[in-house]
Amino acid sequence: MEIIDGVREDMQARQARVSLAELQEQVKQVPPALDAWAALGGPSAERPDLKVISEVKRKSPSKGDLAGISDPAALAVLYRDGGASIISVLTEERRFGGSLADLDAVKAAVDIPVLRKDFTCDEYMIWEARAHGADLVLLIVAALSDEELRSYLALTHELGMNAVVETHTAEEIERAVAVDAKIIGINVRNLKTLDVDRSVFAALAGKIPAGAIVVAESGVRDASDVTHYSENGAHAILVGEALVKDSTPSERIAEFKAAGALAISAR
């Protein structure tokens, strides 16, 4: 993916300033990661409610500028107050306008797990995420080899973190399951065209084994989309655009959770 080239270049610039060895020393001083697996419902077979991963997201390649977000910490607090289980923070700068500074600000403001949302392409970025307090990282199956996926997931667990392992196809789900991923996201946005096809979720969710947490990514516009995902097996949704563009994100999260709980109870 072209975006990975820029992510790697930016990472190498940071690495020139802070070595891996220095990061590893910093990690020793950071409080243990929060339990994101438990925050998403953990091993519960019931999971009667829908969990919401709310995203701090300024812009995207498909939509351009979404929101200025001058105070990511304040937005994160609104998310938490609305009932979000996890806060996702975009740290990719070139296309998403994010930064590690945003991650730092959010982590200092909330007491729920924080996801570093980026295109993880090197173990350095996982150590970096933990050094900045992240409790989860994103691992995109399409961007990683099987060996990288396995080793990155193992490192994540060694550092006490969890990972959202993102998939787009049945083959990618098979690869995620093969490395024993426990939190599996289905992103309904086509990586090549950037188009959203919500029907993809229903076609793929059933391929994820029982016991894993299923996260619906992309395409949440309103409560009807939440209902669709929940009816088709989602335990959690990851939503950014609909929240950052909303003047009352706390209320919107509560609405999404209510719609999800209703759909889950009926399935």
Looking at the annotation, which residues are catalytic?
Answer: 55, 57, 117, 166, 187, 217-218
Beta bridge partners of 189: 196
- What CA–CA distance (Å, rounded) separates 29 from 50? 34
Strand bridging mode 64-65 / 59-60: antiparallel
**Sign of the C-alpha dihedral computed for residues 4, 5, 9 and 12 taken in this order:** positive
- What CA–CA distance (Å, rounded) separates 76 from 186? 24
**Sign of the C-alpha dihedral computed for residues 255, 74, 77 and 37 taken in this order:** positive
Q: Which of 67, 42, 35, 57 is nearest to 236 (CA)?
A: 42
Q: Which of 185, 249, 184 is nearest to 219 (CA)?
A: 185
